[in-house]
Amino acid sequence: MASLTQIAIVSRKGIRYGIYAIVLIIIARFVFNIGVSLYKKIFPPPPPEPTVAFGKLPKLPFPEKERPENLNYVLETPDGKLPTLPAQETLYFMPPISSSIDDVESAKTKAQALGFNPDGKPIAEALKNVYIFDKTNIPSTLTMNIITGIFSISYNLNADPSVISGVPPASDLATDQAKSYFVSVGISSDFQQGRSTTEFLKLEGGNLVKVDSQSDSELIKVNLFRENLGLNKDISSVTPDMPEANIWVIITGNRTIISAEYHYFQVDQQKSGTYPLKTADEAWEELKKGDTFIANLGTDTDGQITIRRVYLAYYDPGQYAEFYQPVVVFEGDGGFYAYVPAVKADLYGAEAESSE
């Protein structure tokens, strides 16, 4: 029969070896998990095939703009190379807008919330859906499409320059005011989470010109873009008039909003599909051949365009389109912007639907 001393020794050894075993299991599991993680990074599983959920797509609704011939493009990105674009990306459905018997009253209510007289009227006999509203004794007008809800606010500074006084607010304060302005009148959309840009302006010779510093300015313009979307929610948007957004305001030194644009159409994030994309090299070749939309020619007028950035973005047309689609953006010196449709060329060809 084993003595108590022998039993104690065996028990201690059992406990010690048990602890060793537990530690080894933990270490082995940790090493295994790291190994699996590294393997997946080095040899990632192939993504699922693009769904092509909407079939063939209508062409992107690029507006007509003057485009010079014989432009010469030079690629000078930070590393001198084109980026590697994702093989596929998400497209989103944009629901059409239908008219309602309440459109006129809704427009008048919104106009009043924006500070205008609610007794608006059609801007022209041929444009019965577009109403114009004014302010009493103030040279400001609101033009609104009563069906789509898009609107424009303008102010005649030549008739009343007294509204400009002092230095405008700093960029962060102006951005907060711009977002709050739309929320206060019942307009709240995904641009609240999107990126924003600002530029300082000054009135010279009856025109607004850009200045470099807040201290030299009289006004500040705030551009509000849609929230980032895509498979990883990291793709921002561009517009037909970059660097101007489809939603913007101009604010004076006394914090008055004297001008604004609101061109927004809903994106249904619950209705989407993935589509295969062109490579950056394919898009680059299309750009050089002239198969592109030039949103902004910039200040370089000698025909020599230096491209500094190439990236993927969603094209936000500022008008109704069936789908919210990506483009390859070529951004260059002097404010140059050009877009090439990002989806593979053989997936275009459907007839576009229209909306009021």
Q: In the predicted model, is pLDDT for residue 28 greater than 70? A: yes
Higher pLDDT, residue 2 or 56: 56
In a domain, 88, yes or no: yes
Query: Is residue 30 in a domain?
Result: yes
pLDDT digits (tens, 9 = 90+) for 248-288: 999 999 899 999 999 999 999 999 999 999 999 999 999 99
Query: CATH number for the domain including 310?
Result: 2.40.128
More confident position, 103 or 9 = 103
Lowest mean pLDDT among 42-51, 73-82, 159-168: 42-51
- The answer to whether position 209 is within a domain reads yes
pLDDT at 94: 96
Position 110 in a domain: yes
Pairing of strands 323-324, 88-93: antiparallel
Is residue 6 very low, low, confident or very high in pLDDT (cuts 50, 70, 90)? low
pLDDT at 312: 98
Q: Are 166 and 306 in a shared domain?
A: no
By percentage, how much of the chain surpasses pLDDT 90?
A: 64
Q: What distance in Å separates the CA atoms of residue 313 and residue 228, rounded to the nearest whole number?
A: 9
pLDDT at 100: 82
Residue 56 lies in a domain: no
Q: Do 225 and 325 reside in the same domain of the chain? A: no
Residues 114 and 10 in one domain: no
pLDDT of 160 > 80? The answer is yes
- For residue 152, what are its two tokens? 């424009």
Does residue 46 surpass a pLDDT of 90?
no
Provide the pLDDT confidence category of residue 299 given band limits of 50, 70 and 90.
Answer: confident
What is the C-alpha to C-alpha distance for residues 190 and 237, in angstroms, rounded to an integer?
A: 12
Domain that holds residue 316: 72-95+269-347
- Mean pLDDT, the chain, rounded, equals 88
Residue type, 329: V
- Asked whether residue 124 falls in the same domain as residue 256, the answer is yes
In 3D space, the residue among 266, 242, 315, 278 whose CA is nearest the CA of residue 61 turns out to be 315
- For residues 96 and 82, what is the distance between their CA atoms, to the nearest angstrom? 36
Same domain, 280 and 140: no
Domain check: are 27 and 132 in the same one?
Answer: no
198-235 confidence digits (pLDDT tens): 999 998 887 889 999 998 999 999 999 999 999 999 99
Residues 179 and 246 in one domain: yes
Residues 165, 32: one domain? Answer: no
Separation of alpha carbons 14 and 11, rounded Å = 5
Establish if 29 belongs to a structural domain: yes
**Residue where one domain finishes, among candidates 267, 289, 304:** 267
pLDDT at 35: 72
Q: Are residues 314 and 208 in the same domain?
A: no
- Say whether both 259 and 279 belong to one domain: no
pLDDT band at residue 353 under the 50/70/90 scheme = low
Q: Say if residues 208 and 219 touch (Cβ distance below 8 Å).
A: yes
The residue out of 209, 235, 267 marking a domain boundary is: 267
Q: Do 136 and 226 reside in the same domain of the chain?
A: yes
Average pLDDT over residues 297-320: 92
Is 113:186 a contact under the CB 8 Å cutoff? yes
Q: How many domains is the chain built from?
A: 3
pLDDT for position 227: 94
Same domain, yes or no: 143 and 281: no
